[in-house]
Structure 1
Amino acid sequence: MTEVKICGIKNQSDVKIINDLKPDYIGFVFAKSKRQVTLEKAAELSKSLDGKIKKVGVFVDETSKNVAEIAKTCGLDILQFHGKEPPEYFNNFKGYEIWKSFVGDENIFENIKKYDGCADAFLVDSSIPGSGKKFDWNNIKGLSERYKIILAGGLNPENVAEAVKTVRPQVVDVSSGVEGEEGKSREKVEKFIGEVRLYG
């Protein structure tokens, strides 16, 4: 069964939608982004979140000290990295599940090999994370047979079924594809999760 991560949670309205519809994971973005949240805000939202939903922190080239502080304060379960963090960097985070992000290009297999053994899963995204643009999913066909793969980049309720059937990822990750005017759209989140659970 393919799991669902709803990323870019920013307010209590988002949390209510999440608690009602129950995806498997949510993401707090701590890197510079229009979806960035402060440590204080993420800690506040975490207290309202259903405890069965795993919390993922999204970081880009952050110091290990800051990551550790944020993870502890917010009760994060998973640390997701989108920067140029070297493999040895992940030795600083014992006890946390580690997701390392890559762009879904032709070199994806070679890039992942460098981190095999130091990351628990690999997130494959478009070249501009959060842009709503997808990449050619055929580039990573078969990858999920060897690794735990989180598929991101341009997913939405209309194309996620095709994505799941093509890539067979263990997790699908969406942010802009389920947004409304003031945060997440209940209708879009519900449809997205429904599509994944129907075809995943």
Structure 2
Amino acid sequence: MKVKICGITDLGTALQAVAFGADAIGFVFAKSKREIEPSAAGYIAKALPTNIEKIGVFVNESREKIEEIASQANLTMVQLHGDESPEFCDSLTLPVIKALSIGSEQDLEKIQLYSNHTILVDSPAGKYRGGNGTSFNWDLLSSARFSNQKIILAGGLHQENVARAIEIVKPYMVDVSSGVEYNGKKDLKKMKVFIETAKQSITQ
């Protein structure tokens, strides 16, 4: 099971996440308490192993701005949390993760529209588009078929529920931010336990 730690804002935490077994690091370039400057993200990204995905999170940003920040921050993928169309996703030069809010079975139909891209399924938007620490009904995804699309599960995951979530959804990757924080900061112990628990989970 692959694990993404999102909302990274400093090098030390990023290196610890990788040491614990994280496969991807997420940087937020949208309005958020975890927002980071592209130059700072680039500094962190350069210090990480080449096999680690460096993913930038954007919300309804212009194509030009995304490409500019992706270059500055040494990103390997972009994650789009806004109202971006399939055509917009197709126009970007880096691989795209399209985030979709899942609140009902009808929402699952949107996944097919983005068949060329990895899909991140998240809880409905709260104050921010993602990173709100709330989960959704995972059973909605338990019998869904995604035509071999890679599915990343996010939304309200933490060390106590991630194994169950993986069992139900069987995602390609799990994504966590607030679930490994204490008082709004990444907690190294929580991060370590989360990654270990996810890696040990049975997906079949």
Cα drift, residue 53 of structure 1 = 1.1
Aligned to 2:162: 160
Mapping 1:79-118, distance limit 5 Å: 79-94=78-93, 96-106=94-104, 107-117=106-116
Whether the 8 Å contact between 1:143 and 1:149 is mirrored in structure 2 is no
Cα drift, residue 144 of structure 1 = 6.0
Q: Indicate the SS of the match to 1:143.
A: coil
Q: Return the letter of the residue paired with 2:200.
A: L
Deviations 1:56-81 (A, max 9, x none): 11000001001001111222111110
Query: Could you tell me how far apart the structure 1 residues matched to 2:193 and 2:132 are?
Result: 20
Question: What is the RMSD computed on CA atoms of the aligned residues?
Answer: 1.5
Q: Indicate the SS of the match to 1:122.
A: strand
Query: Could you tell me how far apart the structure 1 residues matched to 2:82 and 2:157 are?
Result: 21
Pair 199,155 (structure 1): closer, same or farther in 2 beyond 3 Å: same
Cα drift, residue 181 of structure 1 = 4.1
Q: Return the letter of the residue paired with 2:98.
A: K
Aligned length: 196
Pair 68,134 (structure 1): closer, same or farther in 2 beyond 3 Å: same
- What percent of counterpart residues are identical? 39
Q: Indicate the SS of the match to 1:58.
A: strand
Matched, 1:50 2:49: yes
Aligned to 1:195: 197
Pair 154,101 (structure 1): closer, same or farther in 2 beyond 3 Å: same
Cα drift, residue 182 of structure 1 = 6.6
Gapped regions of structure 1 (runs ≥ 5): none
Aligned to 1:180: 182
Whether the 8 Å contact between 1:22 and 1:53 is mirrored in structure 2 is no
Query: Could you tell me how far apart the structure 2 residues matched to 1:180 and 1:48 are?
Result: 25
Cα drift, residue 164 of structure 1 = 0.4
Query: Could you tell me how far apart the structure 2 residues matched to 1:145 and 1:199 are?
Result: 21
Deviations 1:125-161 (A, max 9, x none): 0113211110000011133653211000000011000
Query: Could you tell me how far apart the structure 1 residues matched to 2:155 and 2:90 are?
Result: 28
Query: Could you tell me how far apart the structure 2 residues matched to 1:51 and 1:188 are?
Result: 25
